[in-house]
Amino acid sequence: VSTIFTVWALSYATSDAVGMSRTGMLWVGALANVVALFTIPLWARLSDRIGRRPVFLVGAVGSAVAMPLYLWAISTGSYPLTLILGVLVFGVVYSAANGIWPAFYAEMFPTRVRLSGMAIGTQTGFAIAGFAVAFASQIAGPDGDDWAGVALFAALLCVPPVVAALSARETAQVPTEQLGERHAEVPAKAGASVKA
């Protein structure tokens, strides 16, 4: 989502097919990132209260729904609509997953392999994401104007993280020394403990 938002969408918006200004589109990205500076800590704080999984799922599922709306807004050539949806997609919705993935991923591993486990997983994902723009360009066709195909592609890229999050265990309330253990005890709100 990040790569499609920051690279392909900018290229599409400023292409002859749409004709928006590069400066205007760079402002969309800049303002979305300014909003993200405030929403990321809020999402992270919420994940401490209700759990990592629900917040991550809001970001992943929300991005699958909101990214096509953003690309549609660009296709209309409307700056206000593009700005509003750009800030919503990247500044608010995507920030839910982006704000908590470091904690969520790291907490999947015991201390002994935490750094390696997280590094291998994230760097592999980042390397694959680097090809998203090349795939999006191919999907967009020779004229580069098939935004709907790219929107579907971006939405489909959100499916593996959703499945992974649904199959992951919740770690927000697991004591640090028990992270990564198969049957870690998670303290219940009333003071008793339950199996995670």
Residue 160 is part of which domain span? 2-195
Q: What is the pTM of this model?
A: 0.85
Number of domains, the chain: 1
Tens-digit pLDDT profile for residues 174-188: 887 777 676 554 555
pLDDT score, position 183: 58
Tens-digit pLDDT profile for residues 65-117: 999 999 999 999 999 999 999 999 999 999 999 999 998 988 888 888 888 98
> DSSP 3-state assignment of 108?
coil
What's the mean per-residue pLDDT of the chain?
Answer: 90
Do the beta carbons of residue 173 and residue 54 sit within 8 Å?
no
Closest by Cα among 71, 97, 75, 98 to 86: 71
Q: What is the mean pLDDT of residues 50-59?
A: 96
pLDDT score, position 192: 45
CATH number, position 171: 1.20.1250.20
